[in-house]
Amino acid sequence: MVRLRSTAAALALAAACGQSDGATLDLGVRNKPDRPPRIVGLIHPRKAVAPGERVTFAAIAVDPDRDPIAFAWSQDCDGTFTAPAEALTWWSRTSAGTCTINVTATANGLLDSESFAVTVAFPTGTGGATVDGRFVPQPVVTEITLDGQVISRSSPDATLPDAVVPGAWLPGSFAFDLGAAPGALGATVRDGCGGEATEPALWTSPEGLGEGTFAWRAPDAPAVCLVAVEVRHESLADGFSVAARVGF
Protein backbone atom coordinates (compact mmCIF):
# COMPACT_ATOMS: atom_id res chain seq x y z
CA MET A 1 0.00 0.00 0.00
CA VAL A 2 1.37 3.40 -0.99
CA ARG A 3 0.75 6.33 1.34
CA LEU A 4 1.42 9.77 -0.07
CA ARG A 5 1.71 13.05 1.80
CA SER A 6 -0.18 15.23 -0.73
CA THR A 7 -2.83 15.11 -3.41
CA ALA A 8 -0.33 16.55 -5.93
CA ALA A 9 2.02 13.65 -5.34
CA ALA A 10 -0.84 11.19 -5.78
CA LEU A 11 -1.85 12.71 -9.12
CA ALA A 12 1.73 12.69 -10.32
CA LEU A 13 2.06 9.01 -9.48
CA ALA A 14 -1.24 8.23 -11.19
CA ALA A 15 -0.10 9.99 -14.36
CA ALA A 16 3.21 8.14 -14.34
CA CYS A 17 1.35 4.85 -14.11
CA GLY A 18 -1.01 5.77 -16.92
CA GLN A 19 -3.97 5.88 -14.58
CA SER A 20 -4.97 9.53 -14.62
CA ASP A 21 -8.64 8.59 -15.26
CA GLY A 22 -10.68 6.25 -13.12
CA ALA A 23 -7.78 5.39 -10.83
CA THR A 24 -8.25 4.97 -7.12
CA LEU A 25 -5.31 5.44 -4.79
CA ASP A 26 -5.24 4.81 -1.08
CA LEU A 27 -3.74 8.00 0.32
CA GLY A 28 -3.79 6.73 3.88
CA VAL A 29 -6.28 9.38 5.00
CA ARG A 30 -8.30 8.33 8.02
CA ASN A 31 -10.95 10.53 9.64
CA LYS A 32 -10.06 11.07 13.29
CA PRO A 33 -13.09 10.41 15.49
CA ASP A 34 -14.53 13.49 17.14
CA ARG A 35 -14.12 13.57 20.91
CA PRO A 36 -16.67 14.96 23.36
CA PRO A 37 -16.07 18.01 25.53
CA ARG A 38 -15.23 17.50 29.20
CA ILE A 39 -16.38 19.55 32.17
CA VAL A 40 -13.25 19.98 34.28
CA GLY A 41 -14.43 22.41 36.95
CA LEU A 42 -17.53 23.74 38.68
CA ILE A 43 -18.06 26.76 40.89
CA HIS A 44 -21.06 26.75 43.24
CA PRO A 45 -21.78 27.43 46.93
CA ARG A 46 -20.91 24.63 49.32
CA LYS A 47 -23.16 25.81 52.14
CA ALA A 48 -26.84 26.69 52.39
CA VAL A 49 -28.02 29.94 50.82
CA ALA A 50 -30.91 32.12 51.96
CA PRO A 51 -34.17 32.35 49.99
CA GLY A 52 -33.84 35.10 47.39
CA GLU A 53 -30.04 35.21 47.71
CA ARG A 54 -28.33 35.35 44.32
CA VAL A 55 -25.39 32.96 43.93
CA THR A 56 -22.92 32.22 41.15
CA PHE A 57 -22.72 28.99 39.17
CA ALA A 58 -19.90 28.50 36.67
CA ALA A 59 -18.75 25.57 34.55
CA ILE A 60 -15.30 25.19 33.01
CA ALA A 61 -15.08 22.84 30.04
CA VAL A 62 -12.50 21.91 27.43
CA ASP A 63 -12.90 20.25 24.04
CA PRO A 64 -9.95 18.11 22.84
CA ASP A 65 -10.74 19.04 19.22
CA ARG A 66 -11.20 22.75 20.06
CA ASP A 67 -14.80 22.70 18.85
CA PRO A 68 -17.03 25.54 20.14
CA ILE A 69 -18.75 24.58 23.40
CA ALA A 70 -22.35 25.44 24.27
CA PHE A 71 -23.65 25.32 27.84
CA ALA A 72 -27.11 24.60 29.23
CA TRP A 73 -28.18 24.82 32.88
CA SER A 74 -31.25 23.00 34.25
CA GLN A 75 -32.76 22.16 37.65
CA ASP A 76 -35.37 20.03 39.37
CA CYS A 77 -36.94 22.94 41.26
CA ASP A 78 -38.35 26.43 40.66
CA GLY A 79 -35.17 28.52 40.85
CA THR A 80 -34.25 31.21 38.34
CA PHE A 81 -31.14 31.36 36.13
CA THR A 82 -30.07 34.72 34.71
CA ALA A 83 -28.12 33.15 31.83
CA PRO A 84 -29.06 29.46 31.42
CA ALA A 85 -27.14 29.15 28.11
CA GLU A 86 -23.83 30.59 29.35
CA ALA A 87 -20.86 29.10 31.19
CA LEU A 88 -21.47 31.59 34.04
CA THR A 89 -24.90 32.32 35.49
CA TRP A 90 -26.48 33.79 38.59
CA TRP A 91 -29.19 31.72 40.29
CA SER A 92 -31.72 32.29 43.06
CA ARG A 93 -34.79 30.68 44.59
CA THR A 94 -37.41 32.25 46.84
CA SER A 95 -38.54 29.08 48.66
CA ALA A 96 -36.60 26.72 50.92
CA GLY A 97 -35.51 23.23 49.92
CA THR A 98 -32.76 21.31 48.16
CA CYS A 99 -32.32 21.62 44.39
CA THR A 100 -30.31 19.48 42.01
CA ILE A 101 -28.56 21.65 39.44
CA ASN A 102 -27.32 20.17 36.16
CA VAL A 103 -25.02 21.70 33.55
CA THR A 104 -24.40 20.23 30.11
CA ALA A 105 -21.52 21.12 27.78
CA THR A 106 -22.14 20.30 24.10
CA ALA A 107 -19.70 20.46 21.18
CA ASN A 108 -20.37 19.16 17.67
CA GLY A 109 -23.23 17.00 18.90
CA LEU A 110 -21.26 15.37 21.73
CA LEU A 111 -21.78 16.27 25.37
CA ASP A 112 -20.72 15.96 28.97
CA SER A 113 -22.78 16.84 32.05
CA GLU A 114 -22.34 17.29 35.80
CA SER A 115 -24.77 17.79 38.69
CA PHE A 116 -24.61 19.18 42.22
CA ALA A 117 -27.02 19.99 45.02
CA VAL A 118 -27.80 23.41 46.48
CA THR A 119 -29.74 23.85 49.73
CA VAL A 120 -31.89 26.94 50.23
CA ALA A 121 -32.75 27.56 53.88
CA PHE A 122 -33.98 30.40 56.03
CA PRO A 123 -31.14 31.62 58.26
CA THR A 124 -31.40 30.83 61.94
CA GLY A 125 -29.14 33.74 62.86
CA THR A 126 -26.19 35.75 61.59
CA GLY A 127 -23.84 34.86 64.42
CA GLY A 128 -23.39 32.82 67.54
CA ALA A 129 -22.86 33.38 71.23
CA THR A 130 -20.04 31.91 73.32
CA VAL A 131 -20.56 30.72 76.88
CA ASP A 132 -19.26 34.01 78.29
CA GLY A 133 -22.03 35.92 76.58
CA ARG A 134 -19.88 37.58 73.88
CA PHE A 135 -21.57 37.92 70.52
CA VAL A 136 -19.42 36.48 67.73
CA PRO A 137 -20.34 37.79 64.25
CA GLN A 138 -20.04 35.61 61.18
CA PRO A 139 -16.56 36.06 59.61
CA VAL A 140 -16.47 36.94 55.91
CA VAL A 141 -13.65 36.23 53.44
CA THR A 142 -13.83 39.23 51.09
CA GLU A 143 -11.19 38.48 48.43
CA ILE A 144 -8.49 36.06 47.33
CA THR A 145 -5.34 37.03 45.43
CA LEU A 146 -3.23 34.43 43.64
CA ASP A 147 -0.11 35.37 41.69
CA GLY A 148 -1.25 39.01 41.64
CA GLN A 149 -4.71 38.14 40.24
CA VAL A 150 -7.47 39.40 42.54
CA ILE A 151 -10.90 37.76 42.82
CA SER A 152 -13.37 39.47 45.17
CA ARG A 153 -16.42 37.93 46.77
CA SER A 154 -18.64 39.95 44.44
CA SER A 155 -16.76 39.12 41.20
CA PRO A 156 -19.14 37.66 38.59
CA ASP A 157 -16.43 35.20 37.46
CA ALA A 158 -14.29 33.41 40.05
CA THR A 159 -11.79 32.08 37.48
CA LEU A 160 -8.28 33.54 37.41
CA PRO A 161 -7.80 35.35 34.06
CA ASP A 162 -4.33 33.92 33.38
CA ALA A 163 -3.36 30.24 33.20
CA VAL A 164 -0.90 28.81 35.73
CA VAL A 165 2.30 26.93 34.88
CA PRO A 166 2.22 23.31 36.14
CA GLY A 167 4.39 22.77 39.20
CA ALA A 168 4.90 26.50 39.85
CA TRP A 169 4.84 28.01 43.34
CA LEU A 170 2.60 31.10 43.44
CA PRO A 171 2.25 33.77 46.14
CA GLY A 172 -1.25 34.16 47.54
CA SER A 173 -3.17 36.24 50.04
CA PHE A 174 -6.71 36.79 51.23
CA ALA A 175 -8.65 39.48 53.10
CA PHE A 176 -11.34 38.90 55.71
CA ASP A 177 -13.59 40.77 58.12
CA LEU A 178 -14.35 39.26 61.52
CA GLY A 179 -16.84 41.99 62.38
CA ALA A 180 -15.46 42.31 65.90
CA ALA A 181 -12.24 42.19 67.91
CA PRO A 182 -10.38 38.98 67.04
CA GLY A 183 -10.63 35.92 69.23
CA ALA A 184 -9.52 32.36 68.48
CA LEU A 185 -8.57 32.50 64.81
CA GLY A 186 -7.43 30.02 62.18
CA ALA A 187 -7.35 29.59 58.40
CA THR A 188 -6.86 26.83 55.85
CA VAL A 189 -5.97 26.83 52.13
CA ARG A 190 -6.67 23.68 50.14
CA ASP A 191 -7.42 22.42 46.64
CA GLY A 192 -8.78 19.22 45.17
CA CYS A 193 -6.40 18.78 42.27
CA GLY A 194 -3.12 17.52 43.75
CA GLY A 195 -1.47 20.86 44.51
CA GLU A 196 -0.20 21.92 47.92
CA ALA A 197 -0.34 25.06 50.06
CA THR A 198 1.62 26.42 52.98
CA GLU A 199 -0.09 27.21 56.27
CA PRO A 200 -1.38 30.80 56.12
CA ALA A 201 0.17 33.54 58.21
CA LEU A 202 -2.53 35.81 59.67
CA TRP A 203 -2.68 39.47 60.74
CA THR A 204 -5.68 41.30 62.20
CA SER A 205 -6.51 44.82 63.32
CA PRO A 206 -8.19 45.51 66.67
CA GLU A 207 -11.44 46.05 64.74
CA GLY A 208 -11.28 42.59 63.19
CA LEU A 209 -10.11 43.39 59.65
CA GLY A 210 -7.48 40.86 58.65
CA GLU A 211 -5.22 39.46 55.98
CA GLY A 212 -3.59 36.10 55.40
CA THR A 213 -0.64 35.16 53.19
CA PHE A 214 0.32 31.77 51.80
CA ALA A 215 2.06 30.06 48.90
CA TRP A 216 0.37 27.54 46.61
CA ARG A 217 2.07 25.01 44.36
CA ALA A 218 0.15 24.04 41.22
CA PRO A 219 -0.06 20.32 40.34
CA ASP A 220 2.40 18.94 37.82
CA ALA A 221 -0.29 17.84 35.36
CA PRO A 222 -2.83 20.08 33.57
CA ALA A 223 -5.99 20.55 35.65
CA VAL A 224 -8.60 23.02 36.78
CA CYS A 225 -8.06 23.65 40.49
CA LEU A 226 -10.50 25.17 42.94
CA VAL A 227 -8.26 26.91 45.47
CA ALA A 228 -10.37 27.31 48.60
CA VAL A 229 -9.70 29.61 51.56
CA GLU A 230 -11.51 29.10 54.88
CA VAL A 231 -11.25 31.46 57.87
CA ARG A 232 -12.37 30.23 61.29
CA HIS A 233 -13.22 32.61 64.14
CA GLU A 234 -14.31 31.06 67.43
CA SER A 235 -16.93 28.47 66.41
CA LEU A 236 -17.86 30.09 63.06
CA ALA A 237 -16.24 29.86 59.64
CA ASP A 238 -16.50 31.29 56.14
CA GLY A 239 -14.70 30.83 52.84
CA PHE A 240 -14.93 30.72 49.08
CA SER A 241 -12.93 29.37 46.14
CA VAL A 242 -11.23 30.63 43.00
CA ALA A 243 -10.66 28.51 39.90
CA ALA A 244 -7.16 28.27 38.44
CA ARG A 245 -6.47 26.80 35.00
CA VAL A 246 -3.20 24.86 35.18
CA GLY A 247 -1.37 24.15 31.95
CA PHE A 248 -4.04 25.37 29.46
pLDDT per position as a tens digit, 174-219:
999 988 888 889 999 999 788 999 999 999 998 889 999 999 999 9
Residue 168 pLDDT grade (very low, low, confident, very high; cuts 50, 70, 90): very high
In the chain, where the domains are located: 36-124, 126-248
Q: What is the pLDDT of residue 219?
A: 93
Q: 233: buried, middle or exposed (CB in 10 Å: 19+, 13-18, 0-12)?
A: buried
Q: Burial level of 30, CB count in 10 A (0-12/13-18/19+)?
A: exposed
pLDDT for 18 equals 54
CATH, domain range 126-248: 2.60.40.10
**Do 36-124 and 126-248 share a fold?**
yes
CATH code of the domain made up of 36-124: 2.60.40.10
Q: What confidence score (pLDDT) does residue 129 get? A: 44
* pLDDT tens per residue, range 90-133: 899 988 899 999 999 999 999 999 998 888 888 765 454 444 45
pLDDT at 8: 47
